[in-house]
């Protein structure tokens, strides 16, 4: 109890002195802000991509694919779809049809040469829209099954400058864009949508890359997955849609996340040396005060703790500033990749990550100065005055 009271009193003394040491305190805040700002700005790319992939994906959704590389393989033959939809645990529509949709993707090359990136075409079946209840048309109209026409997501329309009426060149000729749709910020917004049968006929693609299903309840997944994977007639694996999203995002962004942590660590090392230096300086300015406090009975531990607390406080202020700056500049900013368009996201999770980094930096950086203060030989320090 006494230790706690002493820590509180000493911390108040330390904080009161912050104004006198305002420049070095500001430098500490600024250094941590730089580290956290850069870290979170870079991570906002991956976080945004993940948010887009997960958006609209509820725990009831699962994805069946033929191998690890689901998107382009078209490895599920058409005649296996019926068997897959017989699996237990799939929710039924009011008319008794299973809520499952066989789909595949098709890369649509840019109509004009030399434009970087173009949307992929997601070919969906009759249940595709039922499984995506948030998807709605914002301009033009829905595509009609059997007609050679497409609709485009708002994100793709914006990033690749596509409009209702634009012709899109596909193997079967040119297909007009008849509508623009939104889907609650999901990654589907960066794609074209078209009717699976019509697209398959035109592109001569046989087979599907995935089957999206809605389960009766999230718990039904294990039985569903087991049934599919042990069925000798099938060669498929099932995944929850959230796992699929995570894996897909990691495949394209893992290198960038690793680079980000590498960059963040290097900056953190720089900041760490800075924090140690600044806090050493702060302790050495207060030698007289610290020696006096020790002489009148304050214990070394509360003293060290108060200095650590001060470091943590300054570091947190820096983290909040850095994260705030990253949020202001990058959160919600549109990012157009080769085939994916999404908004960068400085999420709550990233704020927590920034706070954790700041805490670790402060604890490591504040420890040597705190120990020095605690071990200060009182008599020598007072005599030196």
Binding site for another protein (CB under 8 A): 23-24, 26-27, 30-31, 34-35, 37-38, 42, 45, 72, 74, 106-107, 109, 113-114, 116-117, 169-171, 203-206, 252-256, 258-259, 262-263, 266-267, 269-274, 276-278, 280-281, 284, 337-338
**Nearest distance, CB of residue 263 and another protein, angstroms:** 6
SS (H, E, C) 113-174: CCCCCCCEEEEECCCCCCCCCCCEEEEECCCCCCCCCEEEEHHHHHHCCCCCCCEEEECCEE
How far is residue 88 CA from its own chain's centroid? 33
218 or 368: CB nearest another protein: 368
Q: How far is the CB of 41 from another protein (least distance, A)?
A: 8
Q: How far is the CB of 88 from another protein (least distance, A)?
A: 32
Tokens of 161: 């400058």
Instruction: Kindly tell me which of 15 and 280 has the beta carbon lying closer to another protein.
Output: 280
Assess contact for 288 and 378: CB atoms under 8 A.
no
Phi, psi of 2 (to 5 degrees): -65, -35
Element (H or E) spanning 264, and its range? helix 241-285
Complex with another protein: residue 214 or 286, whichever CB lies closer: 286
Q: How far apart are CA 62 and CA 54, in angstroms?
A: 12
We find the least distance from the C-beta atom of residue 68 to another protein, in angstroms, to be: 15
By beta-carbon proximity to another protein, the closer residue of 71 and 135 is 71
Nearer to another protein, 224 or 316 (CB): 316
What are the distances in angstroms from CA 324 to CA 41, 96, 99, 327? 10, 50, 43, 5
Q: For residues 221 and 89, what is the distance between their CA atoms, to the nearest angstrom?
A: 7
Least distance (Å) from another protein to the CB of residue 69? 14
Q: How many CB atoms lie within 10 A of CB 323?
A: 25
* DSSP letter (8 states) at residue 84: H
CB of residue 274 to another protein, shortest distance in Å: 5
- CB 225, min distance to another protein, A: 27
Provide the minimum distance between the beta carbon of 93 and another protein in the complex, in angstroms, as a whole number.
31
In angstroms, the CA 319 to CA 310 distance is 14
Residue labelled with tokens 């420890």: 367
Spacing of C-alpha 131 from chain mean position: 24
């Amino acid at each position: 109890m006494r230790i706690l009271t002493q820590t509180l009193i000493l911390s108040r003394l330390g904080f009161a002195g912050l104004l006198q040491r305002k420049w070095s305190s500001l430098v500490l805040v600024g250094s941590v802000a730089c580290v956290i700002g850069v870290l979170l700005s870079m991570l906002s790319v991956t976080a945004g991509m993940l948010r887009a992939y997960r958006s609209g994906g509820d725990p009831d959704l699962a994805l069946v694919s033929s191998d690890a590389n689901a998107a382009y393989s078209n490895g599920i033959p058409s005649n296996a779809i019926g068997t897959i939809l017989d699996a237990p645990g799939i929710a039924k529509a009011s008319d008794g049809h299973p809520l499952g949709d066989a789909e595949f993707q098709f890369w649509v090359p840019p109509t004009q040469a030399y434009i970087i990136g173009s949307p992929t075409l997601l070919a969906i079946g009759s249940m595709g829209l039922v499984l995506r209840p948030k998807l709605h048309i914002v301009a033009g109209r829905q595509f009609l099954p059997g007609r050679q026409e497409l609709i485009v997501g708002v994100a793709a329309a914006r990033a690749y400058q596509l409009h209702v009426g634009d012709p899109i060149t596909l193997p079967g000729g040119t297909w007009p864009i008849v509508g623009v749709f939104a889907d609650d910020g999901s990654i589907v917004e960066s794609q074209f949508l078209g009717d699976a049968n019509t697209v398959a006929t035109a592109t001569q693609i046989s087979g599907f890359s995935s089957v999206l299903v809605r389960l009766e309840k999230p718990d039904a997944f294990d039985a569903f997955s087991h049934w599919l994977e042990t069925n000798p007639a099938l060669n498929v694996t099932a995944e929850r849609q959230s796992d699929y999203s995570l894996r897909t995002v990691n495949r394209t962004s893992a290198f960038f996340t690793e680079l980000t942590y590498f960059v963040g660590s290097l900056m953190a090392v720089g900041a760490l040396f800075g924090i140690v230096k600044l806090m050493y300086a702060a302790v050495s300015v207060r030698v007289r005060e610290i020696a006096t406090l020790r002489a009148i009975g304050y214990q070394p531990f509360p003293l060290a703790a108060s200095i650590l607390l001060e470091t943590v406080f300054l570091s947190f202020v820096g983290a909040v500033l850095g994260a705030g700056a990253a949020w202001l500049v990058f959160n919600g900013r549109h990012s157009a990749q080769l085939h994916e368009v999404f908004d960068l996201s400085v999420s709550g999770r990233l704020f927590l990550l920034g706070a954790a980094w700041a805490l670790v930096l402060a604890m490591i950086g504040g420890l040597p100065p705190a120990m020095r203060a605690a071990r200060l030989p009182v008599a020598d320090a007072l005599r030196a005055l």
